[in-house]
Structure 1
Amino acid sequence: MKKAFSLFMMIMLVLGVLAACGPNREEATSTENEGSNKAGEEPAKPEKLVVWEDTDKEVALEPAIEAFEKEYGIKVEYKTLGMADKIRDQLRLDGPAGNAPDVVTLPHDQIGQVVVEGLISEIEVEQDVLDTFTESSVSAQMYDGKLYGLPKATETPVFIYNKALMDKAPATFDELYTFSKDFTKGDNYGFLALWDNYYFAHGIMGGNGAYVFNEENGALNRDDVGLNNEGAVRGAEYIQQWYKEGLFPKGIIGESGGSAMDGLFNEGKVASVMNGPWAFQAMKDAGIDYGVAPLPTLPNGENVKTLMGVKGWHVTAFTENQYWATKLVEFLTNEESAKTRFETTGEIPPVKSLIEDPIIAENEAAKAVAVQSSYAIPMPNIPEMAEVWSPMASALQQIATQKSEPKAALDSAVDTIQKQIETNHAK
C-alpha cells in the first residue's frame, strides 16, 4: 500500500512540475497570434534583385527598374540573353551553381518544361492583379493548375503588306491566291509564308480542324494528337498547292527560310507576307511603307487559327527573395510598365485597359495583332510539345517540296511524335 501511495505522489509531483514549466492557454494564444502577424509582414528587403531580360528589350526594362527602385529602395540589376533558348539554357547551368537571377523572362511554351526541371517557382498574386490581364494570357502562364508567371507581351502572326505593291489587305485567301497568281513573276511574289514551319502552318491547318493536343477537362491530352486528322490533311493540301504552283520560292524552305523571306520583302520584291510583330522594326528600317491586318479568311470561310505566343516574367526557383521577386514581376507587368514597353519595343501588352487605349486602338499594327489574337490559341506549354516541332518541320518540308503526299507525311510525323513522347516523357 505504501509503495502504491509513493508511486501516486511521484506521478503527481512530475505532473505539477510539467504544468509549472508549460505556458498557460492565454500566453499560448497570444504567441500564436503574434506569429501570425509576423508572417503577414513584408520580409526584409534584399540589397538587390537580378533580372534576365530578352536581347535588345532593355529599353523597356530600364524605366520600369528605375521606378521600382524609387518606390521600394531595392537595387535591380539586369543582363540580356536570347529569350527563346539562351535564358533557359543558362538557367540550367547557373541555377545549381548558385549564380541564378531572381527573375527571368521566358516564352510561355517553355513553362511546362522548366517547371518539371525545377527552374521556376509557382507565384501567388492577388486576384485584382490577375484581372489586369486578358484571360488567355493568364492561362498561358498556368501549368497543372498553378500560376508560374505574369504575362508581359503577346504575339501572333498577322498579314503584312507593302502599300506600294498592294492597295489593301484582301478579305479572303481566295482573293489573295488570285492576286498572287497575277503578281508572281521572276523574283517578285504576291504572298509568302513560312508554311514549312509548324508555328506558321498551324494557322492554316488549325483553321481546317487540326489540333496539336486535344483539350479535355481543362488539360491537354498528350495521347490525343490531331495533326493527321482530316482537317490537318486538308490544310496541308492547301499549303502544298502554293508551293506546287510556284507561288513560293524554294529558298524559303528550311532553317534559312525566315531570313530569305524577310530579305525579299524588305527589298520590295514581295507584296505581302504572313509574319509577326517581331518583323516590324526591320521593315521600318528598310523604308517599307507597310500595312498590317488580320489574316484573310480561309477558303472554308474560317479564320486562320494562328498560334499565340505569350512572353512572361517568372520567379526562379533559386531566388532567396521569393516575395520581393514576385513584387518585381507585378511591377514589371503593371499598366505603366506595359505601356512603356509598347511605346519602346512595339510588343503588344495583354493588359485589358491598354487594349482600348488609343495608343493601341488607333495603331493599325497593334490592332491587327489584337484582332488576330482573338482567333488564335496559345501554343501548348506542356513538355511534350517539344516533340512536335521537328517531326512536323520534316513533314511540312516533304509536303512543300512535293516529295510526299500530305496524308503520308503527317501520318509519319504523328507516329514519330507519339513514340518520342512515350520515350522521353514517362507518365
Structure 2
Amino acid sequence: MKKLFSIFMIMILAFGVLAACGPQEDAEEPAKGGDDNQAATGEMPEKPEKLVVWEDTDKGIALQPALDSFTEEYGIEVEFKELGMADEIREQLPLDGPAGTGPDVVTLPHDQIGQNVVSGQITEIKVDQEVLDTFTEASVSAQMFDGKLYGLPKATETPIFIYNKALMEKAPETFDELYDYSKGLGKDQYGFLALWDNFYFAYGIMGGMGGYVFKNNNGALDAQDLGLSNEGAVEGASYIKKWYTDVFPKGIIGENGGSTMDGLFNEGKAASVMNGPWAFQAMRDAGIEYGAAPLPKLPNGEYPQTFMGVKGWHVTSYSQHPEWSTKLVEWITNYDNAKIRFEQTAEIPPVKKLIEDPVIAENEGAKAVAVQSERAVPMPNIPEMGEVWGPMATALQTVANQKAEPKAALDEAVKTINTNIEANHSNK
C-alpha cells in the first residue's frame, strides 16, 4: 500500500508540474531554471552557500575530488548523495524537488531526458561552444531534447567486439571475414554470437545499413518519421536472418539468449561476441583472456551504427542557483575530473582529449568503447521511444525464428509503433 501511495503521489506531482505556470509567468512562484538575462550578460549571481548533487550508486569516489576542487576554486560547499540512477533518482526527484529537499544537479541516463523535460524536472542549460567542443559530437547530441541542451555528458557505453585470444588471434576487419570463419568451424563451436533478436543490439546492423528510429531534424527527433522498415532497415534485418540461419544456435533467441551467449563464450565455445564493457568482469572471473575492438565493417563497407548510452549531469528545475549549478556541471565534466572518473570507476567519459590520453588509448577495452562510441548514435531520448522496443523485439524474433520475412515483420512493427504513438502521445 505504501508503494502504491508513493506511485500515486509521483503521478500527482508530475501532473502538477506540467500544469503549473512557468517561473516567469507567475511572479509569486520561486524561480525555476536559468535567468536568460543573467546568461545573456555573462554575469554570475551571488554565490550560494551550498549546492547539492545526486550521484549514481557507488560512483561518489570519482565525484568527491571534483567537488573538493570546485569548493577550493569558488568557495561554494557541495554535498552529494548516492541513489540508484535508473530508478531511485527517477522516483525521488518529483517528490523531493517540490518539497525543497531535492538536488541542484542530478545524474541521469540520457534516455530519461525527454520524460524529465516534459514533466518539468530538469531545465535547459547554456554553455559556451568552447565547452561543448571538448566532448564528442554524439555525446552532446544525446543531451539534447527538442533542439535544446539539457546537460553535459558524464560517461558513455556501447556494444563492441569482444574475442577470446586463445581462439582468435585478432579482431577481423569485416563481418564477411567473420562469417566465413564462423562457417568453417565444427559442431558446437561458434566463431561469433550476438543477440540480434534484441533491438538494442540489432540496431547496430540496421543503422549501419541505413535504417533509423526517428528522423533527426537538427537535434529534434521526429516521432512521426520512422525509418525502421526502410530499405536499409530491411537490408539489415535480412543480414541478421542470414546469421541466424547459418551460424547462430537457436538457444540465443529470446529471454534466455543473453545467459546462453555468455555461457558459451565463458566456456570457450564461442570465439567472439558482440557485447559491452559490462561483460568484462564475468569474462575475467571465468579466466578468459579477452581482446576488445570496435565492431568490424558491414558488407556495405560501413561500420555498425550501434546505440550509445550516455550518462549525463543535469540542472534540476528546482535549483535556486541554476547558473552556479551549470558552472558545477561544467567543472565536474572537464578533462581533469573526467580522467579521475575513468581511473576510479572505469566509466568512459566522452571527452575528446581524454580519449587520446594514454590512460584510455592504451587500455584495450576502453579504447574499443571510445572508438565505437564515435561511430554510434545516442539511443532516442524522447518519450515515444518506449513504444519501439516491444514491437521491434517481436519483429526480430520472428525473423530470427524464420517465421516471417524481414520486410513483412518490420512493416508490421512500424504499424504497431505508429498506432501506439498516436494513442499514447498524441497530446504532446
Whether the TM-score (by the shorter chain) exceeds 0.5 is yes
Find the aligned partners of 1:162 and 1:395 in 2 and give their Cα distance. Answer: 31
Q: What SS does the corresponding residue of 1:40 show, helix, strand or coil?
A: coil
Structure 1 residue 97: deviation in Å?
A: 4.3
Distance, in Å, in 2 between the alignment partners of 1:357 and 1:266 is 31
**Which residue of 2 is the match for residue 8 of structure 1?**
none
Can you give the 5+ residue segments of structure 1 that lack an aligned partner in the other structure? 1-34
What SS does the aligned partner of 2:213 have? strand
Q: 1:254 to 1:103 in 2, by over 3 A?
A: farther
AA in 2 matched with 1:227: L
Deviates more, 1:50-59 or 1:380-389: 50-59
| One-letter amino acid matched to 1:371 | V
Say yes or no: does 1:137 pair with 2:149.
no
2:380 aligned with 1:380, yes or no? yes
Cα displacement (A) at 1:302: 2.1
**1:123 paired residue number:** 125
Distance change >3 Å, CA 50–CA 275, structure 1 → 2? same
Q: Could you tell me which of 38, 43, 46 is aligned with 1:40? A: 43
Which residue of the partner structure matches residue 57 of structure 2?
55
The equivalent residue for 1:4 is none
Contact kept? 1:172, 1:298, Cα under 8 Å:
yes
**Residue 282 of structure 2: aligned partner:** 282
**SS state of the match for residue 184, structure 2?**
helix
- The CA deviation at 1:287 is 3.0
Indicate which of 82, 85, 92 corresponds to 2:84.
82
- Partners of 1:184 and 1:55 in 2: CA distance: 44
Report deviation, 1:41: 4.4
Classify the secondary structure of the residue corresponding to 1:183.
coil
> Cα RMSD between the aligned structures?
2.5
The letter of the residue matching 1:215 is: N
Q: Distance in 1 between matches of 2:349 and 2:218?
A: 28
Q: Aligned partners of 1:184 and 1:223: how far apart in 2? A: 47
| Displacement of 1:181 | 2.5
Alignment partner, residue 403 of structure 1: 403
Residue correspondence of structure 1 range 320-335 to structure 2 within 5 A = 320-335=320-335
Q: Does the 8 A contact of 2:147 with 2:218 survive in 1?
A: no
Question: Equivalents in 1 of 2:353, 2:223: separation in Å?
Answer: 35
Specify whether residues 330 and 261 from structure 1 end up closer, same or farther in structure 2 by C-alpha distance, changes over 3 A only. same
Match of 1:257 in 2: 257
- Residues 293 and 368, structure 2, Cα contact 8 Å, conserved in 1: yes
Q: Residues 112 and 381 of structure 1 are in contact (CA less than 8 Å); yes or no, is this contact kept in structure 2?
A: yes
Matching residue's letter, 1:397: Q
Contact 1:158/1:293 (<8 A) preserved: yes
1:18 match: none
What letter corresponds to residue 58 of structure 1 in structure 2?
Answer: G
Matches within 5 A, 1:81-120: 81-120=83-122
Contact 1:277-1:346 at 8 Å conserved across structures: no
Match of residue 304 from structure 1 = 304
> Which residue in 2 is equivalent to 1:272?
272
**Paired residue for 1:11?**
none
Q: Which has the larger radius of gyration?
A: 1
Which deviates the most, 172-181 or 89-98? 89-98
Asked whether the 8 Å contact 1:158–1:369 carries over to 2, the reply is: yes
* 8 Å contact from structure 1 (residues 207, 302) kept in 2: yes
SS state of the match for residue 52, structure 1? Answer: strand
User: Residue 65 of structure 2 aligns to a residue in which SS?
Assistant: helix
Matching residue's letter, 1:328: L
Query: Residues 81 and 249 (structure 1 numbering): CA distance in 2 closer, same or farther, change over 3 Å?
Result: farther
Structure 2 partner of 1:152: 154
2:200 alignment counterpart: 199
| Aligned-partner residue type, residue 136 of structure 1 | A
Distance change in 2, residues 1:275/1:213 (3 Å): same
Name structure 2 gaps, 5 residues minimum.
1-37
Aligned to 2:182: 180
The superposition leaves residues 191-239 of structure 1 with CA deviations (integer Å, 9 ceiling, x where unpaired) of 1112122111011111222111123355322211111112212211221
Name the counterpart of 2:169: 167
Identity of paired residues, percent?
70
2:103–2:316 contact (8 Å) kept in structure 1:
yes
Query: Which residue pairs with 1:358 in the alignment?
Result: 358
Closer, same or farther in 2 for the Cα pair 1:58/1:194, shift >3 Å? Answer: farther
Distance of aligned partners of 1:93 and 1:178 in 2 relative to their CA distance in 1, 3 Å threshold: farther
The corresponding residue for 2:35 is none
Q: Does 1:345 align with 2:345?
A: yes
> How far apart in 1 are the matches of 2:254 and 2:104?
37
* CA distance in 2: counterparts of 1:351 and 1:88, whole angstroms: 26
Residue 348 of structure 1: how far off its partner (Å)? 2.0
State the distance in 2 between where 1:248 and 1:59 align. 42
Alpha-carbon distance change, 265 to 95 in structure 1, aligned in 2, over 3 angstroms: farther
The 2-side partners of 1:369 and 1:349 are apart by 10
Equivalences, count: 389
Q: Distance in 2 between matches of 1:150 and 1:243?
A: 39
Q: Residue 53 of structure 1: SS of its match in structure 2?
A: strand
Superposition deviation, residue 134 in structure 1: 2.2
Distance in structure 2 (CA, Å) of the matches to 1:256 and 1:60? 34
2: CA distance between counterparts of 1:69 and 1:210? 47
**CA offsets 1:275-312 (integer angstroms, 9 cap, x no match):** 12232333334332111111111122221121222221
Pairing 1:422–2:425 present? no
Q: How does 1:175-254 map to 2 (within 5 A)?
A: 175-183=177-185, 185-186=187-188, 188-245=189-246, 247-250=248-251, 252-254=252-254
1:277–1:347 Cα contact (<8 Å) kept:
no
| 1:130-186 Cα distance to aligned partner (Å, 9 max, x none) | 232222222221222221101112222111101011111111112111222233633
Q: 1:262 to 1:66 in 2, by over 3 A?
A: farther
Find the aligned partners of 1:285 and 1:87 in 2 and give their Cα distance: 31
Work out the CA distance in 2 between the residues paired with 1:355 and 1:112.
28
Asked whether the 8 Å contact 1:46–1:321 carries over to 2, the reply is no
